[in-house]
Amino acid sequence: MLKPVRKLPGEKRIALVAHDNKKNEMIEWAIYNKTALAQHRLFGTGTTGTLVEEALGQTVTKFLSGPLGGDQQIGASIAEGKIDVLIFFWDPMEAQPHDPDIKALLRLAVAWNIPFACDRATADFLLTSPLMFSDYEIMTPDYSVYNKRLQNPSDTTTL
C-alpha cells in the first residue's frame, strides 16, 4: 500500500520555539537568517514569536506562551498539517515545568514526519537546504489501522 503524501510548498510554514535560556540564541539565529526566513511564513509561541517579529520586522503568527499551551497549539497545528517545519531551541540543562508538553511537541514532529531542528547547527543545515525553497513531498504515516483499532468490525463509521 502506498503511503499518503503531503506536499510542502516552497513557502514553508515554520514554527519557532525557544526556551528562556535559548531566546537570545534564537534571535541571533533569526537575524543571521533574515533573508531566508523572509521567504517563509513564520509562527511562534508567544514570547519567542514577539521577539522574532521585533528583531526581523516580519510578521510572526503567535500562539500562546509555551507553558500556557503554545507548545500544544503548535503540536495540534503539526497534526493538522498547518505547520511544515519546527525550529525548537530547547534548553537541555534546565528542567521545564511543561516538560510533558515539550515531549508531546517533539513526538508530533516525528509522528507526522516534518523537518525539525533542536539546535542552531541543525537549524542552519535545515534552512540552507535547497529543499526549503522548493515544493517537497513528505511521506506521512498511514495511521488508518491505528484509528480503526477500537472499531467494531460490524460498524462502518470511521473514528
For 19-159, where are the alpha helices, taking DSSP H only? 23-32, 34-37, 46-56, 70-79, 99-111, 120-127, 144-147
71 is known as an active-site residue: yes
C-alpha cell at 23: 531566546
| Residues in Cβ contact with 98 at an 8 Å cutoff, skipping those fewer than 6 apart | 66, 67, 71
- Other Cβ atoms less than 10 A from the Cβ of 147: the count is 11
Q: Which entry of 20, 71, 101, 119 is annotated as an active-site residue? A: 71
The residues annotated with a catalytic role in the active site are 71
